[in-house]
Structure 1
């Protein structure tokens, strides 16, 4: 790891342009809220295996989803139209909420997937992002089907920018429904982009595209110059509005 910068809690992050070709920039320090806030504001995020030092990344290019370019498949479009007819009714079979079950969403995102047992979302990571959630910067979106948590996602919101962290689905398309509602909500709040961090085929299928790091950082700096939206627990609607919860979802 020649050239890797080692941090303590008093060391600032190096210039993201100094990252290694795969995006690794630094190691060490902690997951305190000030450290995380500094990292994200500079286009840096943590990603490491449990038991290892914290590794900080700033890949080039960066995978970014423009909210207005989110791709809705034919099957997802059909589901959205069906949900639209009942989403405001008391007995709606499917509801999309935000910040209603943050710990459960993180725990589900940390669960094993197929043959993959290990996860970077360790208990320490869950504790750190839950603390940041309580401080108002990290949010979850939940898909409820017949009163049960079927899918969702969580991410960080700073200024007018959203950083997607992870998604999960227990039912087909449940996480995509959460993302569809999230993109519409973000657009109503003046947030046009979601950072998806690293390139994958799945993200590309949803409309995300690689962006040069330099361009990403310019975009981020502009978004951070604007205030964060007011974000409180509630039900997301397809109109992009955030409505008060009509009843407790459990």
Structure 2
């Protein structure tokens, strides 16, 4: 069950309103790419991926170690959002219609410019082949969407996200709704009330964490083979 509130206002969603919504366990969706209306969604059940519980298969670990993809952070935020919004076959979405409307995409681009939304990109031969984006606040990252044009690209982006979150001292990875893909990667369901308690705990005061992009930078600056290090760290805890 999901509680939905609909807003008929047009224009970019105010960034502070967006952040307040996320802190309250609410996020926006639309019925279609061209839909100007916003639905504010409050799920009764959330999906999260525990940072020590990501499922990394042997083949995925091998892909990480071999560094098939060049992984970046915030190098192509708008392109990632557009790729996530493009219609595509999805077993969890029968009609393939995107919930990321033009209005929502523009709102997240503004949030990104203000430093509150981030993307991870996978590149192969100079081409963007996969990635994900989401919203970060305190020690929380709320994953919004991911896409993949090459096998394992979105999974590699997720692995890098988890590794960067751990390096940055973040604690909670929200996936919003459970899907078969996320379940295969280790996502677990929990009631909204329990999720909000985790958000509260992750929003405590203190300086024992750094911004997510800095967590990513520590991965690439501290190793000549970050993919190998990430594969090792994630398979030890998964």
Match of 2:54 in 1: 70
Q: Tell me how far 1:233 sits from its aligned partner.
A: 8.2
Match of 2:28 in 1: 46
Q: Tell me how far 1:70 sits from its aligned partner.
A: 0.6
Say whether residues 1:81 and 2:65 are aligned partners: yes
| Counterparts in 2 of 1:134 and 1:65: CA distance versus 1, 3 Å | same
Indicate if the aligned counterparts of 1:185 and 1:242 stay in contact, CA closer than 8 A. Answer: no
Indicate if the aligned counterparts of 1:97 and 1:233 stay in contact, CA closer than 8 A. Answer: no
| Structure 2: distance between partners of 1:233 and 1:123 | 29
Indicate if the aligned counterparts of 2:147 and 2:154 stay in contact, CA closer than 8 A. Answer: yes
Counterpart mapping for 1:81-120 below 5 A: 81-83=65-67, 94-114=69-89, 116-120=95-99
* More contact order relative to length (CA 8 Å, sep ≥ 6): 2
Match of 2:225 in 1: none
Count of residue pairs the alignment pairs up? 212
Higher helix share: 2
Match of 1:127 in 2: 106
Q: SS at 1:75's partner residue?
A: helix
| Structure 2: distance between partners of 1:243 and 1:156 | 24
Q: SS at 1:166's partner residue?
A: strand
Indicate if the aligned counterparts of 1:100 and 1:233 stay in contact, CA closer than 8 A. Answer: no
Counterpart mapping for 1:137-148 below 5 A: 137-148=116-127
| Structure 2: distance between partners of 1:208 and 1:57 | 19
RMSD of aligned residue pairs (Cα, Å)? 2.3
| Counterparts in 2 of 1:66 and 1:118: CA distance versus 1, 3 Å | same
Match of 2:211 in 1: 230
| Structure 2: distance between partners of 1:38 and 1:242 | 32
Question: Structure 1: which 5+ runs fail to align?
Answer: 1-21, 84-92, 245-250
- Find the partner of 2:14 among 32, 36, 53: 32
Residue-by-residue CA offset, 1:42-63 (whole Å, 9 max, x unaligned): 0111122132631111212211
Indicate if the aligned counterparts of 2:30 and 2:101 stay in contact, CA closer than 8 A. Answer: no
| Structure 2: distance between partners of 1:204 and 1:45 | 21
Match of 1:193 in 2: 172
Q: TM-score under structure 1 normalisation?
A: 0.78
> Rg bigger for which structure?
1
Residue-by-residue CA offset, 1:105-126 (whole Å, 9 max, x unaligned): 0010011112744211121111
| Counterparts in 2 of 1:139 and 1:57: CA distance versus 1, 3 Å | same
Match of 1:12 in 2: none
Question: Structure 2: which 5+ runs fail to align?
Answer: 223-238
| Structure 2: distance between partners of 1:39 and 1:144 | 32
